[in-house]
């Protein structure tokens, strides 16, 4: 599993949004259902590792109404090797 935690910035107004994870080629790999997010809210997501092979992804929070993402960040997934 891949655990993710997002803490929304204080300037964000409460609104209905969804999160999306995009592969480096901007293809949506995972999308949540709609949820109500408010400032200082914490969003915890646990995804199956099979959905996120090694690579770089973009994680973004998108408002229900569309438009620019409210938040966007980079996520690097890499398999740990044992020494």
Cα–Cα dist 37/70, whole Å: 11
Look at residue 22 in the predicted model and tell me its pLDDT: 92
Look at residue 82 in the predicted model and tell me its pLDDT: 72
> How many CB atoms within 10 Å of residue 72?
13
Give which of 14, 25, 21 is closest to 63, Cα–Cα: 14
> What six digits make up the tokens of 63?
């408002």
Percentage of the residues of the chain whose pLDDT score is greater than 90: 4
- First-to-last alpha carbon distance for the chain, in angstroms, is 21
Q: The pTM is what?
A: 0.73
């Amino acid at each position: 599993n891949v655990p993710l935690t997002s803490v929304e910035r204080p300037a964000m107004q409460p609104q209905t949004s969804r999160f999306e994870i995009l592969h480096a080629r901007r293809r949506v790999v995972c999308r949540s259902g709609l949820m109500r997010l408010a400032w200082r809210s914490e969003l915890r997501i646990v995804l199956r590792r099979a959905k996120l092979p090694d690579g770089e992804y973009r994680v973004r929070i998108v408002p229900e109404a569309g438009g620019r993402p409210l938040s966007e960040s980079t996520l690097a997934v890499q398999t740990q090797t044992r020494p």
